[in-house]
């Protein structure tokens, strides 16, 4: 088949010109987002007798006659200088080669364009929140789609990048690794899509804050017992003779999320002694003991007289000072 030199023509997208290739050359590419609209323009400046639009081997239009059954494809212009089609709500299936062909002075002209449909990266399936015991293995997945093919990465809040790829495997997980893990997928078409998976690591209680405390008769005092645990620990208190500690008018137990407090509102002799804190959850238990012991305070009066000043020759004043001396005694000494 013999072709003369082509007429001047071009394809354009949304008004910006994209030059078409001559017959036999590589087609130009036009890129559009899924769901957007696109105009494929075929501009000519010669007397045209026949013209047509094709998608692959399917005829869309011959002149003003529409062959396509797709309502989204319409003819924008059809005259001696412009033969353009409009595709609304572009779908992935619209991707592929399009051809504008026409005859001018009984000589065929043809050009090609390749429509590329991009789809923003999107997470379509991801692991649900998971609860495991310390030492177990954790396997998370995050599946994403998009055009072009998106990348998938996993990140945590403490260390940043954890792993590339759809799968995140944690072997013998530690309690410090219990947190939110974020899956991020991106293909450069739109802002990244992000979703989180909460990983809860369960472990038995570990008591971390135990101190012996001094107390004065008639005063207030506090014994503290703090325990880290998942699930949260339950607390119980026992006396040195293994009796459970119960609330009364001088003693109150206050349990908080991670600790338990023994609040003594009016310390008496019966309160001094050894107390054991017992923390437990479904995975185990821990206990620790502490002392509430007596703190004695004594005040002594000391009479002190000032020496005579060199020029006065007499004692001008006598000062009386109160000196406070606090003695902290262990329980055995306080009973003496």
What would the pLDDT profile of 265-297 be if each residue is shown by its tens digit?
999 999 999 999 999 999 999 999 999 999 876
Residue 51: what pLDDT?
86
Q: Is the pLDDT of residue 118 over 90?
A: yes
Residue 298: what pLDDT?
52
Residues 67-86: what's their mean pLDDT?
A: 87
Rg of the chain over all Cα atoms, to the nearest angstrom:
43
Output the CA–CA distances (angstroms, integers) from residue 304 to 5, 56, 115, 319, 321, in the order listed. Answer: 125, 115, 105, 6, 7
Residues 309-313: what's their mean pLDDT?
A: 41
Residues 87-115: what's their mean pLDDT?
A: 89
Residue 248: what pLDDT?
86
Predicted confidence band at 81 (pLDDT cuts at 50, 70, 90)? confident
**What top-level class would CATH report for the domain 11-119?**
mainly beta
Residue 105: what pLDDT?
75
Q: For the domain 205-295, what is the CATH superfamily, name and number?
A: Immunoglobulins (2.60.40.10)
Residue 281: what pLDDT?
97
Residue 27: what pLDDT?
60
The whole-angstrom separation of Cα 253 and Cα 246 is: 7
The structural architecture, per CATH, of the domain 127-202 is Sandwich (2.60)
Q: Could you give the percent of the chain with pLDDT greater than 90?
A: 60
Output the CA–CA distances (angstroms, integers) from residue 148 to 13, 123, 141, 164, 250, in the order listed. Answer: 20, 14, 20, 17, 72
| Closest C-alpha among 119, 122, 124 to residue 148 | 119
Predicted confidence band at 241 (pLDDT cuts at 50, 70, 90)? confident
Prediction pTM value: 0.69
Q: Is the pLDDT of residue 24 over 70?
A: no
Give the ranges where the chain is alpha helix by DSSP (H): 331-334
The DSSP symbol for 219 reads S
Question: Six-digit token pair at 207?
Answer: 């008591």
Straight-line distance from the first to the last Cα atom of the chain, in angstroms, rounded to the nearest whole number: 123
Note whether 166 and 153 are within 8 A (CB): no
Residue 161: what pLDDT?
73
Q: Which is more confidently placed, 172 or 15?
A: 172
CATH 2.60.40.10 segments of the chain: 11-119, 127-202, 205-295
Residue 311: what pLDDT?
42
The whole-angstrom separation of Cα 156 and Cα 164 is: 12
Average the pLDDT over each of 165-174, 270-279, 320-329 and give the range with the smallest value: 320-329
């Amino acid at each position: 088949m013999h072709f003369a030199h082509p007429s001047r023509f071009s394809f354009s997208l949304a008004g910006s010109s994209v030059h078409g290739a001559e017959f036999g050359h590589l087609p130009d590419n036009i890129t559009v987002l899924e769901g957007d609209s696109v105009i494929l323009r075929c501009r000519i400046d010669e007397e045209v007798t026949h013209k047509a639009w094709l998608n692959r081997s399917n005829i869309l239009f011959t002149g003003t006659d529409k062959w396509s059954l797709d309502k989204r494809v319409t003819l924008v212009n059809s005259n001696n200088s412009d033969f353009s089609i409009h595709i609304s709500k572009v779908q992935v299936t619209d991707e592929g080669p399009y051809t504008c062909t026409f005859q001018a002075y009984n000589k065929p002209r043809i050009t090609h364009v390749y429509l590329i449909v991009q789809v923003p990266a999107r997470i379509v399936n991801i692991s649900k929140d998971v609860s495991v015991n310390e030492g177990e293995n954790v396997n998370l997945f995050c599946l994403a789609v998009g055009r072009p093919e998106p990348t998938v990465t996993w990140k945590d809040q403490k260390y940043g990048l954890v792993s590339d790829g759809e799968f995140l495997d944690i072997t013998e997980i530690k309690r410090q690794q219990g947190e939110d893990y974020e899956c991020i997928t991106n293909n450069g078409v739109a802002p990244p899509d992000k979703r989180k998976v909460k990983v809860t690591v369960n472990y038995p209680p570990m008591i971390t804050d135990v101190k012996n405390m001094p107390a004065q008769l008639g005063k207030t005092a506090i014994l503290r017992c703090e325990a880290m645990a998942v699930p949260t620990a339950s607390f119980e208190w026992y006396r040195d003779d293994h009796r459970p500690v119960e609330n009364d008018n001088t003693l109150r137990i206050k349990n908080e999320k991670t600790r338990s407090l023994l609040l003594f509102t009016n310390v008496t002799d019966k309160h001094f002694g050894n107390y054991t804190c017992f923390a437990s959850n479904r995975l185990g238990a821990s206990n620790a003991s502490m002392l509430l012991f007596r703190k004695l305070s004594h005040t002594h009066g000391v009479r002190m007289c000032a020496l005579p000043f060199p020029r006065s020759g007499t004692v001008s004043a006598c000062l009386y000072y109160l000196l406070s001396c606090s003695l902290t005694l262990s329980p055995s000494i306080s009973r003496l």
